[in-house]
Amino acid sequence: MQNQTIVITGATAGIGRQAALACAGAGANVVACGRRAELGATLLEEIRDNGGQAIFVQADVTQAQAVKALVARACEHYGSLDYAFNNAGLFQREPQLDAYDNNQWYQHLAVGLTGTYLCMKYELQAMLKTQNRVCAIINNASTVAFTGSAASGAGYTAVKHGVLGLTRQAAIEYADRGIRVNAICPGPTLSEATAPLLDADPVKRAAALSVLNPTAQLVQATDIAQTLIFLCSDAAKMINGQALSLDGGQLAKL
């Protein structure tokens, strides 16, 4: 990824933060986006302390003008846009559909689906101006994009199904124009919500994790970051319109 530019949304924590660090380590010019400026500043400091190149743009992906300005800033600062990782989204334990809060539903759609659509729209416009390069967009979906889930809820599940639809549609529309579009679909990932499992008794921990996937392990943010780098690389030049599951065999088990 040397000297190539990537926009990463939801970059101030979790998967997005690790993706930003990994891409910077691979030589990319990172344009990190998030809503929390203080966390953005901390991320930039760590990237630059390790010799990487990055800028931070505070933006709300639900707002078209903010997303347009984000992509414009990336192109102005680094000259062009080569890659994008549309990672911003929401996840929380949710009630069943009959008790679902309407505002929670609208928020999920705004951030996870409309936000992904807006990012793709303006990223594609910028990438179409890039000459003699193959560009790549990677959307962060989930194994929940293929099935329902007792651990999430209607908003999250519907959004992730929608993200796959956007991914496949764009892959078809831009396949002959030098832009590949794919999705990463992680299974249960190490986070604040799942971290207590690691502190459990080893036997109980293995039993709980094996329900999530046959390897009895949680997906690590570093696993997702390395898959992102692969999908941006020439090694993945024939991968387009795909939903790549990182789940330790979870979906195969189902």
Distance CA 87, CA 9 (A): 5
* Residue matched to tokens 């303006």: 122
- Is 106 a catalytic site residue? no
* Tokens 């990336």 found at: 74
Sequence length of the chain is 254
Cα separation, 27 vs 47, in Å, equals 11
Residues 15, 50, 87: CA angle, nearest 5 degrees: 20
**Listed residue (142, 116, 111) closest to 219, CA to CA:** 142
Q: What long-range pairs does 233-238 form, CB within 8 A, spacing at least 24? A: 233/1, 234/134, 236/136, 236/180, 236/182, 237/134, 237/180
Q: What tokens were used for 145?
A: 């994009």
Catalytic residue among 78, 83, 156, 174: 156
Order the strands of the 83-86 sheet from edge to edge.
53-58, 29-34, 5-8, 83-86, 135-140, 179-186, 243-246
Distance CA 54, CA 78 (A): 10
Query: Which residues are catalytically annotated?
Result: 156
